[in-house]
Structure formats: C-alpha cells, structure tokens
Amino acid sequence: MSDTKYIFVTGGVTSSLGKGIIAASLAKLLQARGYRTTIQKLDPYINVDPGTLNPYEHGECYVTDDGAETDLDLGHYERFLNVRTSQANNVTTGRIYQSVIEKERRGEFLGKTVQVVPHITNEIKERIQILGNSGDYDIIITEIGGTVGDIESLPYIEAVRQLLWELGEHNGIVIHLTLVPFLSAAGELKTKPTQHSVKTLMESGIKADILVCRTEHNISEDIKEKLALFCNVRKEAVIQSIDASTIYDVPLLMQEEGLDTVTLEKLALPNDTEPNLDQWKEFLNRHKNPKDKVTIGLIGKYVELPDSYKSIQEAFIHAGAANEVDVEVKSIHSEHLTAKNIDKKLKGLDGILVAPGFGERGIEGKVNAVKYARENNIPFLGICLGMQMAVIEFARTVLGLDKSNSTEMDKETPDPVISLMEEQKSITDMGGTMRLGSWDCHLKEGSLVEQVYGSSDIEERHRHRYEFNNKYKEQMEEAGLVASGLNPKTGLVEVVEIPSHPWFVGVQYHPEYKSTVASPHPLFVGFVKAVLTHKQKQNNASLA
Ligand code: GLN
C-alpha cells in the first residue's frame, strides 16, 4: 500500500450542504502547505456519467481534459486547486456496476456469485485507490455524494469502512458535514440532527473524526462542547462553517477554524508550516474591491437554475477580478426573446453571452440575441451552441440564406451551416459519444483571438456533436465572418470572429471549464475587458 493519506468527506442531515466547496477548501489549504492534493467525487446515482442528465437535475455537466463528463464539483476542484482532474476523479454507481458486470461477462469472477459485498465494494475501493497508487499525490480527498442513511450510498459507506480498517490509524480519516439549524421560534441552534446523522454513520461502523457544521449563526463554545460530547469527537474537531458571501472565502474561514490543522494532526502529518495563500488573498481582494461594474446578459434556456451554467458564472468572477470590475451576470431566458421584444429585454446590457445547450427549445431567441449584439456593436461571446447560433444568424441575415439552420434543429434545412460529421451519423448511443475533451486549435495570425490568448496554439475542451459546415466557409469569410481557429488535424472550425465588429467571438469549445482562480481564462478576461471598454465608450457618448 502507498504512503498516500485518505480523507473521506460524508454528508448528513440534508443534501446541498456544499460538501464540494468544503472538500475543495480543505484541499486548497493542504496544497498551500505544500501537500500534493487531489479530490475525487463518488456519485451514488445509476447513470454511468452525468452526460445524459438534464442540467435541471444536477446542474452543469463538467468536462475534463480526458473527455470525462463529470459532476460539477470537479469544476470547483480545478478552480480552487488549479490542478487538472480526469475520469478517475468522478465515479458513479452506474460506472461501478457496468465495470463489475463486464468483468462477470468475461468470467473474471471464476464462477463465484457476484454480490454487492465484496464485488461492488471492492470495485469502489479500487477506484478510490487508483489516484493514491499513481504516486502523484500525498493526500486524496474523496467526497461521497448523497446523505448518509440513503439506501443508494450504503455500498460506498461500507467500502469506506473497509478501507479505513485496511489503511490503519492516521492513514485515513472521515470528515462528516452536517447542518446545525437555527429554530427561530426557540431562538436556538439545534444539535440533534447532527447527533442523529453521526449515529447513522456509526451504525455502519464509521466514526467521524471531524465534524464540519454548516450554520447560519455562530456556534457558541457551549454548543461545540455539546456536539463534541454527543458525537464522540474532540472539541477542536468541531468546525463551524458559517454561510459566506462568496465560496472563495471558505478556505480562509476554514483556516480560521483550524480545519487544516486538525486534519493534519489526525493524519499524523507535520503542520508546522503556514499555508501560503498570498495569491488567493490577492484574488479575493480584487474580487471584493472592484473599481467599476458591467452587466453581461447570459442568454440560455436553463437560467432558472444558476448551477446549469456554473463554470461560466465562476469564469466571470475570475475575469472580473483580473479586470478589477464587478461583473453582474443577468440571466435571460432565450425562450422569451422575440424579434419584437429584444430591444426592451437586452437594453442596457454591456455585453452578451449566448450559452451552450442542446435541442430546439429557445434557439430562435438565441439567434435574435446574436443579431442584436452584432448589429449594435455590443461585445459578444458565443459558446458551443452559442457559436453555432452566431453562424446561423450570420448565414440568415448577411448571406441571405434565410432558412439556414443546424441539422440538430431542422434535418431538412436547405442550408445546413451547422451539421453532423460523417463519423457521428451512425451513432445511436447518447452516452459519451460526442466530441469530448481537449483538442488542439490553431489560431489565425493577426486574429482577435490570437491577440486575446497571446498565443497561436491552444488546447480547449469540447462537448458537442454538431460542427461548422466547411462548405460554407469561403462564402462566410468573404462576407466578414472569419474562421479564426481551426483544428490543425481535421480542419474543423473551432473559432469564428467578425473583424469589423468591436469584439465578436464564437467558440465551438468550452473555455469556461479551464478558468481557475490562479489562471483566469484569457477569453473571459478579454471579453470582460472589451465589455468594460464598450460601457465606458457608451457613457462618454451619452455625456458628450
Ligand atoms: N447541441 C450542440 C451540439 O451538440 C451544442 C452543444 C453544446 O452547446 N455543448 O453540437
């Protein structure tokens, strides 16, 4: 067994407590002390991956360099740690069963009855240890999705119990995240739900080493003592996690509470160095003290649930801090945008982003939004479907191909400016069959994007099936929509821009996945900068 140390993060009382943010914050503190740290998420649902899930279910589907479609918590891990994740960082029940069943079909279990214990639990244990055995990390934080006591998380809890026993003392610990609710009628914080969830964990043979208690009010010393006594942990191991104004405050709040110190003590690791969080604090300082403000419209169809566009929202926070400007992202439902009401709905926006998406719902609204941005010289960024809509709008309005469309929306269109690649045509399985993960892209010399990236060769992550149809490339370029980024191997168009417009860029890939606190994405930084310039120009014009 390797020397890697394991931290398991479980959740009690209720879901949505923010286990991902706590795990990412602890990882940040450990990384800032020099420990090579990564995080893994185990999801108890039966989908093989979240790629086939509607964003309304679990929010955005996050994509890694290696093309894994994963839980959005992996986005937080990358944004906090600036370390790339991969397929190994996200495991679902679907994937576990798929792999065990495939082994059974190959006869690998030598005639044995295949059961939840030990076969499913062994598979879970193996998946947890893959990252540890790579030798790349000192500490692995494994977040168990769901809430203890759920039927579906039982095999995970049993796998953790076995692993803790096998790893031995100080090599594996459990952090249990709970809720300490405030009852306004009684005027009190209540500890009972936490006591019950710790008890549920104990019934499965697991003792929590550290309690992180989510709360809306400060937890007094008395309550900490009570929680410690009844939950069988030391008082220093009862950590308050109070609501924060931004998720980026949480690492510092956890440091104040001593989460990293108590974690290192429990793992018998030296804790004498102070975490170096200078860069993090500088980012926070810029984020909290903006010198100006801009409003960007996010045109999408899943806007009711902010988590649907999580990475885009976070990329704007990073780019805002880089430009020392507060970016207000105004979500606008594309289904409600018509040629008639567009002026009213988009008036006052300093920039427009048309979001990624699938299917027909709301696309005409997106086309209208592109047209508005293009004709009014408003800085525009189109991502994936947003780029495709920009191409369609250009074909319809400028080239006069008024029935042009993507074959995703209209199979019979006479002008399929966005269409399927030959390889995609025979695919019937929906899971994991899109163009996924990191692809090279070469940027045209002298283009806006080349200037924005400060480089002509980039790698970006994809998640789509449809592509720019190269048959229309020449015609589009002659009319002023330039293909300024190409895949060097296939010639597929990855970026389009309009040089006669102040800032109009459409990208077939998803830049938002790669933006982190330490390294804000150049395209978002450039876009926000252009938006700010546009706003200042408008202000000056109205003053003149
Ligand atoms: N639906 C489009 C496609 O599959 C765009 C996907 C996206 O925006 N991620 O090509």
What would the pLDDT profile of 180-211 be if each residue is shown by its tens digit? Answer: 999 999 889 999 999 999 999 999 999 999 99
Q: Which atom of ligand 1 is nearest to the CA of 510?
A: 9
Expressed in angstroms and rounded, the spacing between residue 465 Cα and the centre of ligand 1 is 6
Give residue 305's pLDDT. 85
Confidence of residue 272 (pLDDT cuts 50, 70, 90): confident
Q: What is the amino acid identity at position 111?
A: G
Q: Which residues pair with 92 in a beta bridge?
A: 43
Helices 19-31 and 250-257 sit at what angle, rounded to 10 degrees?
70
Q: CB under 6 Å to ligand 1: residues?
A: 356-358, 384-385, 408, 463-466
359 pLDDT above the threshold of 90: no
How far is the C-alpha of 28 from the C-alpha of 40, rounded, in Å?
A: 14
307 is in an annotated binding site: no
How close is the Cα of 329 to the center of ligand 1, in Å? 22
394 contacts: CB under 8 Å, gap ≥ 6: 374, 476, 479, 481, 498
Whether residue 432 has pLDDT greater than 80: no
Mean pLDDT of 165-189: 95
Share of the chain above pLDDT 70, in %: 98
Please state whether beta strands 188-189 and 182-183 pair in parallel, antiparallel, or not at all (unpaired).
antiparallel
Residue 135's region, left for phi above 0, alpha for psi from -120 to 50, else beta, is left
Could you tell me the pLDDT band of residue 271, with boundaries at 50, 70 and 90? confident
Provide the pLDDT for residue 94.
95
Would the pLDDT of 353 be above 90?
A: yes
Residue nearest to atom 3 of ligand 1 (CA): 464
Per the document, the length of the chain is 544
Task: Flag whether pLDDT at 428 surpasses 80.
Answer: no
d(CA 417, CA 383): 16
Check residues 426 and 70 and name the one with the higher pLDDT: 70
Across residues 170-178, what is the average pLDDT?
Answer: 97
Q: Residue 430 pLDDT > 80, yes or no?
A: no
pLDDT score of 538 more than 80: yes
Domains 5-281 and 290-543 share a fold: yes
Least confident of 11-15, 314-318, 364-368: 11-15
Contact 380, 352 (CB under 8 A): yes
pLDDT bin (cut points 50, 70, 90) of residue 2 is low
**What pLDDT was estimated at residue 53?**
82
Q: SS in 3 state form for 322-347?
A: HHCEEEEEEEEEHHHCCCCCHHHHHC
Cα–Cα dist 34/83, whole Å: 13
Average pLDDT over residues 432-458: 94
* Angle of CA points 406, 407, 409, to nearest 5°: 75
Using pLDDT thresholds of 50, 70 and 90, give the confidence band for residue 528: very high
- Decide if 406 contacts 530 (C-beta within 8 A): no
- Of the two residues 246 and 359, the one the predictor is more confident about is 246
- Point out the ligand 1 atom lying closest to the alpha carbon of residue 384: 8
- In angstroms, what is the span from residue 118 Cα to ligand 1's centroid? 40
Q: Tell whether the model's pLDDT for residue 426 goes beyond 90.
A: no
Expressed in angstroms and rounded, the spacing between residue 160 Cα and the centre of ligand 1 is: 38
State residue 361's pLDDT score: 87
- Six-digit token string for 529: 């900068």
The answer to whether 319 and 527 are in contact (CB under 8 A) is yes
Residue 338 has pLDDT above 80, yes or no: yes
Amino acid at 457: D
To test the pocket of ligand 1, the residue of 464, 467, 492, 493 to mutate (highest count of ligand atoms within 8 Å of its CB) is 464
pLDDT tens sequence across 38-75: 999 999 999 888 888 887 787 899 999 999 999 999 99
Q: What pLDDT does 512 receive? A: 98
273, pLDDT greater than 90 = no
465 is in an annotated binding site: yes
Distance, in Å, from the CA atom of 159 to the CA atom of 96, rounded to the nearest integer, reads 12
Strand, coil or helix: what is 296?
strand
For the structural domain made of 290-543, what CATH number should be given?
3.40.50.880
- Does the structure show a pLDDT above 60 at 1? no
Task: Indicate the domain borders of the chain.
Answer: 5-281, 290-543
Mean pLDDT of 516-538: 97
Per-residue model confidence as pLDDT tens digits over 488-513: 999 999 999 999 999 999 999 999 99
Q: Is the per-residue pLDDT at 314 higher than 70?
A: yes
The confidence score (pLDDT) of residue 427 equals: 67
CATH superfamily of 5-281: P-loop containing nucleotide triphosphate hydrolases (3.40.50.300)
The fraction of the chain above a pLDDT of 90, given in percent, is 87
Residue 543 binned pLDDT confidence (cut-offs 50, 70, 90): confident
Taking the C-alpha atoms of residue 38 and residue 30, their distance in angstroms, rounded to an integer, is 10
Give the pLDDT confidence score for residue 56 in this predicted structure: 79
Q: What is the pLDDT of residues 95-153, one digit of tens each?
A: 999 999 999 999 999 999 999 999 999 999 999 999 999 999 999 999 998 899 999 99
Please tell me whether 226 is known to bind a ligand: yes
